[in-house]
Amino acid sequence: MPDSKGTLTVITGPMFSNKSGELLRLATVHRIAGRRVGLFKHSLDDRYDGAGTISTHGGQSAAAEPVATSGEVELMAGGCDVVAIDEAQFFDAELAVVCSRLVADGRAVLVAGLDRNFKGEPFGPMPDLLAHADNVMKLRAVCMRCKSLEGTMTQRLIDGRPAPRSSPVILIGAAESYEARCRDCHELPD
């Protein structure tokens, strides 16, 4: 029983802000309401329980369909009232267009992803998704340097030290490679 009007909700913030946890929570609420929910995640992310699972850093998990393109999401979402997509930053530029089509079909679309890469720059299709969103949840984490609750940046680490600007944008990892930091504590050496 889909809503009469579709909606796009984007959940964003730095690593360790519980974006995936919030996505799973909202998906559960929709299931309780009797809606058919499809969970999708980018196949690049195989941390924790593998590519077929959305997992949080805190240990929560749910089975999800691993996909590599936004077109695959659209093809596989046919029987879903709600489409939930994790790790959106890894998808192609068409993800916002696909989400808009799903919303136009009357579906609730939930998308979670990093809004910025470790350099602090807009990440993948996230700017377009944010521009099309009906609802935006911008989450924060604890800054692991000063312990403020203003962690809005993702700090990449190499051997425990800030990664240089020249590092590749995509590096799949968790606490061994990343931590949340506030703007004041975020470092980006040349």
- The count of structural domains within the chain is 1
CA 25 to chain centre: 14
Q: Looking at residue 1, what is its pLDDT?
A: 43
Nearest to 42 by CA among 61, 11, 70, 18: 70
Residue 146 lies in a domain: no
Range 115-130 average pLDDT = 97
Residue 125 lies in a domain: yes
- One-letter-per-residue 3-state SS of the chain: CCCCCCEEEEEEECCCCCHHHHHHHHHHHHHHCCCCEEEEEECCCCCCCCCCEEECCCCCEEECEEECCHHHHHHHCCCCCEEEEECHHHCCCCHHHHHHHHHHCCCEEEEEEECECCCCCECCCHHHHHHHCCEEEECCECCCCCCCCCECEEEEEECCEECCCCCCCCCCCCCCCEEEECCCCCCCCC
Residue 14 lies in a domain: yes
Residue 189 lies in a domain: no
- Domain CATH code at residue 52: 3.40.50.300
Beta bridge mates, 164: none
Distance CA 179, CA 170 (A): 15
Q: Looking at residue 50, what is its pLDDT?
A: 62
Q: Which domain holds residue 29?
A: 7-138
Of 22, 74, 87, 179, the catalytic one is 87
Q: Please write the tens of the pLDDT for every residue from 73-110.
A: 999 999 999 999 999 999 999 999 999 999 999 999 99
By mean pLDDT, which of 12-16, 63-67, 114-118 is the weakest?
A: 63-67
Q: Looking at residue 173, what is its pLDDT?
A: 78
Could you tell me whether strands 108-114 and 7-13 are parallel, antiparallel, or unpaired per DSSP bridges? parallel
Active-site annotation holds for 74: no
Q: Looking at residue 3, what is its pLDDT?
A: 45
Q: Please write the tens of the pLDDT for every residue from 123-181.
A: 999 999 999 999 999 999 999 999 999 999 999 999 999 999 999 898 877 778 999 99
Residue 49 lies in a domain: yes
Residue 86 lies in a domain: yes
Residues 165/190, Cβ–Cβ less than 8 Å:
yes
Residue 103 lies in a domain: yes
Distance CA 154, CA 119 (A): 8
Q: Looking at residue 4, what is its pLDDT?
A: 60
Residue 110 lies in a domain: yes
